[in-house]
Structure 1
Amino acid sequence: MRALIGTGVALVTPFQKEGAVDTEALTRIVNFQIENGIEYLVVLGTTAESATLTAEEKELVIQTVIQANQGRLPLVLGVGGNHTAQVVHELKTRDLSAFTAILSVSPYYNKPTQEGIYQHFKAIAEASPIPIILYNVPGRTSSNMLPATVIRLAQEFSNIVAIKEAAGDIVQAMQLLQHKPAHFHVISGDDMITLPMVLAGGSGVISVIGEGFPKAFSDMVRLGLNRKVDEAYAIHYQLADAINMIFEQGNPAGIKEVFMHLGLSENTVRLPLVNVSSDLSQRLKQFVDAFPL
């Protein structure tokens, strides 16, 4: 799964001002990623506001990205949830032929035990026709998928090939890197600690800031993978303020504000999300205007 080495981005779903999915803007965003060095694209993750999309809108997003991509980059599809049987049904019925892997989040809200998390992903592994990236994001799911559970899954199911680790805990990430099977990828899901994770042995990132500043962020990750530490950290510190700002008032409101200032899409989000404040919008504009894209 060398396709998962480097920088992937969790694509937003751009909306028109009146709220409809903006397929023209989504096409521009896909091309912006490809033209600026991103290695793969993640469709319908959390950043895509997938929880607020209808089934028809999800299909529209998928087909728009496939058409815009034209086979140029590997695609990863978000297929997850807290209803195991429903996720299994989607895996058995959806056409996944355009995708390299799925990204599947640890069950949220239910707060399962580690054994429950294991059994959930066991069922997914037995159903999925393509490789699986686990997704651990305790800040959203209210439960932490512990390294022992991840390693158990990675050892027992050959189609579980990676984890997007977004606990924001570098020690936990290092435990994964220390004990993982050789074939298994540990991918950062936290933009601020992406470079330390890469330097510790991680394979890269699935990023939010990376889609706003794809050339710089993907360059940073490649420099890190090539052990060019000083050059990589120079870019990290160039982007650190922007990373903080885009998450200051929620994701994807922050990154959508960046896209608006870049002229790629509107900044529209769907309730219960709201736009960032005028103060944050102005600070993001100042950063975008000053940053050497």
Structure 2
Amino acid sequence: MESFIGQGIALVTPFTKEREVDFPALKKLLDHTKDAEYWVVNGTTAESATLTKNEKKQVLEFVKQNNPTNKPIMFGNGSNNTAEVIENFKEFDLSGVDAILSVCPYYVKPSQQGIIAHYTAIADASPLPVLLYNVPGRTGVNMNVDTIVELSKHKNIFGVKDASADLTQAMRVISATPDNFLYISGDDAMTVPIISIGGSGVITVLGNVVPQEFGSTVQQALNGNSKQATMQMSQLLDYTDALFEEGNPVGVKTALEIAGICNKTVRLPLMEGSELLQSKMSVMYDQIKISSKKSMFVSNFDARHAI
């Protein structure tokens, strides 16, 4: 699944001030992130928990219709109800979609054997290749190394997005899974070190806002230029921290309002980013753009084609 090596954008779902899906703003976001390797639709950053099934269908269809370069699309289909995930395969039009991202069951805290059974049932039923998603900070349970290794043997599971921020776990998974099994960072700040030990890239929140700067950083790391990648990432670390200071996607939507892509409206129980956060992020955004103009970030084209 080489299509999913590099920077994948975990797209937000823009809302109007009335909290309806803002499709013109979504079009601006797609144009803004057009140089990324792929898009992820209906992930947790998309506020999928508050979208209706009909809205999810509309957003997916809109992304497919506004994809002139046929960029690979990954669609989020996950739940703590295994049967619901399987039923969704029948209800959504997945033509034009290339893979499924499925989050580890949340809240119920299944055993490791329960996780294996859950994903096996999903992978057996899925018409598309499945990417596991381990995010213990949100689900309350970590998919351990043995679990991921066992699931990597399934012919319809091609990798894992791991947001555990555990480099030891990452090394153990990468060393024990097949070479074509992708280990994708689910934590923006951990992307460079994860790639340095064999990771395949990132599904990013940060890339919604600064896709060129972060995309260059990812490509430098994939090209083996760890020192350059680390230097570039160091310019983004404080900004990355600020993105998650008041929760996700609260921070990234605040940042996107500053960038003129969409407003910062979220749906309850999330609250809009504070004025203090917006003020701080505005200064940081300007600093990143100044650094970019000073060529501290290699262009995406040069980074991709570096020898």
Provide the TM-score with structure 1 as the length reference. Answer: 0.97
Deviations for 1:99-144, whole angstroms, at most 9, x for unmatched residues?
A: 1100000100111000000000010011001100000000110000
Q: CA RMSD in A?
A: 1.0
Structure 2 residue 40 is the aligned partner of structure 1 residue 45: no
The one-letter code of the counterpart of 1:268 is T
Distance 1:199 1:249 in 2: 30
Q: Secondary structure at the match of 2:21?
A: coil
Report the alpha carbon displacement of residue 3 of structure 1 after superposing the two structures with TM: 0.3
Offset, 1:150: 0.7
Deviations 1:194-226 (A, max 9, x none): 100001100000000111110011111111011
Change (3 A) 1:78 1:115: same
The number of aligned residues is 290
Q: In 2, distance between residues paired with 1:109 and 1:16?
A: 30
Contact 2:40/2:75 (<8 A) preserved? yes
Deviation, structure 1 residue 72? 2.9
The one-letter amino acid of 2:28's match is R
For 2:226 and 2:138, how far apart are their aligned partners in 1? 31
Structure 2: gaps of 5 or more residues? 293-307
Report the counterpart of residue 305 of structure 2 in structure 1: none
After TM superposition, the structure 1 = structure 2 runs for residues 1-293 of structure 1, keeping only pairs within 5 Å, are: 1-34=1-34, 37-155=35-153, 157-292=154-289
The residue identity in structure 1 corresponding to 2:168 is V
- Give the Cα–Cα distance (whole angstroms) in 2 for the partners of residues 122 and 72 of structure 1: 29
Contact 2:57 2:92 in 1 (8 A): no
In structure 1, the residue matched to 2:298 is: none
3-state DSSP of counterpart to 1:182: coil
Decide whether the 8 Å contact of 2:104 with 2:135 is kept in 1: yes
The SS at the match of 2:285 is helix
Secondary structure (helix, strand or coil) at the match of 1:202 reads: coil
CA distance in 2, matches of 1:93, 1:183: 30
Which one-letter code corresponds to 1:184 in the other structure?
F
* Helix, strand or coil at the partner of 1:248: coil
Amino acid at match of 1:228: N
Structure 2 distance, partners of 1:253, 1:65, is 22
Provide TM-score, normalisation by structure 2: 0.93
1:71 positional shift: 4.3
207-216 or 93-102, which deviates more = 93-102
Equivalents in 1 of 2:167, 2:92: separation in Å? 35
Amino acid at match of 2:230: Y
Identity, % of aligned positions: 45
Secondary structure class of the residue paired with 2:244: helix
